[in-house]
């Protein structure tokens, strides 16, 4: 009888604990975008394909008695990968408006990259796999999962200013022939102010990343900076940005390092249910095998545009077009053009 009573007490205690643990507030969000892409590479064969972008995210949050909010999230679906994205850490939001991201927190420099308008479609132009030129402002913002990022409250030091500081440490894994990030330090800031009828946003960041690999010593670890500005006047948004830096272990080969820069310009205009986007990005890079010097210039010039129409609440039809001119080691390579027609459903 005592055993049954003890088991019953333990069960009640367990259920009670479970009840407390399950009190976290959960919300769901995501999107389903699908459409057709028509790709016309220069010097290649025209192709077409269905392009899907499916995302399903669960967000979790709860507030302590002291007013601090603890939150996290995970993806059940990330594009076409059913395994999803489960590497998010925790965010602690404090009563003064500041926040602390812990575990796989990311890079503070990348958090403050100004958004530059471009095509809202899912089209893309493939170029040769050895072209190291970048087209994004945040290409030099690596980090490890063992990191934190602190976000100040709004109006930090000055009205309209927010800043972030981040750091990550060595994961402890042994170096291999593949370059791996060991640690980073980064700083980012965003300043928002009114200028006449316009709302102006200034953003920028700087990051220093240390890494390692066996055999050949790394001469240029990933580091760099970016700056950008956007102005919103009524329904019109105009933005421009610039980034410069070095990157080791670049995607085209883990044994390469490069020095490069990116310039981006974009315009967005909203009228009724229609949104028009136009963007231009130019990137140059000189890449070499890690530990060596020399090399010729790689480049990409990407111009894109799109028209989006709000068909219904959460449903948007999209028509996009992108064209690219590319050079690899100073030689013209397979750029081309692509266009996309599809729709996105968000919830």
At residue 22, the pLDDT reads 57
At residue 5, the pLDDT reads 40
> How many other C-beta atoms are found inside a 10 Å radius of the C-beta of residue 313?
7
Considering the domain 28-346 in this protein, what is its CATH number?
2.40.160.10
Distinct helix (H) and strand (E) counts, the chain: 2, 17
**Contact, 147 vs 184, CB < 8 A?**
yes
15: part of which helix (H) or strand (E)?
helix 2-21
- Domain ranges across the chain: 28-346
Query: How confident is the prediction along the chain (347 residues), in pLDDT tens digits per residue?
Result: 444 343 344 434 433 444 445 579 999 999 999 999 999 988 778 899 999 888 889 999 999 999 999 999 888 755 555 555 556 789 999 999 999 999 989 999 999 999 999 999 999 887 777 788 999 999 999 899 999 999 999 999 999 999 999 999 987 777 777 788 889 999 999 999 999 999 999 999 999 999 888 777 777 788 999 999 999 999 999 999 999 999 988 877 777 888 999 999 999 999 999 999 999 999 999 888 887 777 778 899 999 999 999 999 999 999 999 999 988 887 777 789 999 999 999 99
For the purposes of burial, counting CB atoms within 10 Å of the CB of 328, is it exposed (0-12), middle (13-18) or buried (19 or more)?
Answer: buried
Residue linked to tokens 């001119």: 325
> The whole model's pTM is what?
0.84
At residue 94, the pLDDT reads 95
């Amino acid at each position: 009888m005592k055993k049954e009573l003890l088991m019953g007490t333990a069960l009640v205690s367990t259920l009670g604990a479970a009840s407390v643990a399950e009190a976290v507030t959960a919300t769901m969000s995501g999107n389903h975008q699908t459409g057709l892409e028509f790709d016309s590479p220069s010097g290649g064969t025209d192709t077409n394909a269905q392009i899907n972008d499916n995302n399903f995210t669960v967000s979790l949050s709860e507030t302590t008695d002291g007013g601090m909010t603890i939150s996290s999230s995970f993806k059940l679906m990330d594009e076409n990968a059913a395994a999803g994205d489960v590497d998010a850490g925790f965010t602690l939001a404090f009563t003064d408006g500041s926040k602390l991201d812990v575990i796989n927190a990311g890079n503070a420099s990348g958090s403050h990259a100004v958004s530059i308008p471009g095509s809202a479609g899912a089209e893309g132009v493939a170029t040769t796999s050895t072209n190291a030129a970048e087209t994004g402002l945040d290409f030099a913002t690596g980090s490890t999962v063992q990191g934190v990022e602190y976000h100040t409250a709004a109006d930090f030091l000055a009205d309209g200013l927010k800043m972030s500081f981040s750091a990550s440490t060595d994961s402890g894994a042994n170096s291999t022939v593949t370059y791996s990030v060991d640690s980073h330090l980064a700083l980012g800031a965003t300043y928002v102010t009114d200028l006449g009828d316009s709302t102006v946003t200034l953003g920028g960041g700087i990051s220093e990343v240390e890494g390692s690999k066996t055999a050949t010593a790394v001469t240029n670890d990933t580091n760099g900076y970016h700056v950008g500005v956007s102005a919103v006047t009524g329904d019109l948004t105009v933005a421009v940005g610039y980034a410069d830096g070095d990157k080791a272990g670049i995607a085209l080969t883990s044994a390469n390092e490069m020095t490069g820069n990116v310039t981006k310009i974009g315009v967005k205009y909203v009228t009724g249910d229609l949104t028009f986007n136009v963007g231009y990005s130019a990137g140059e890079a000189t890449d070499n095998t890690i530990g060596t010097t020399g090399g010729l210039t790689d480049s990409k010039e990407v111009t894109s545009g799109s028209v989006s129409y709000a068909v219904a609440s959460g449903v948007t039809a999209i028509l996009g077009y992108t064209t690219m001119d590319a050079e690899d080691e100073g030689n013209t390579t397979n750029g081309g053009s692509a266009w996309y027609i599809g729709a996105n459903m968000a919830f």
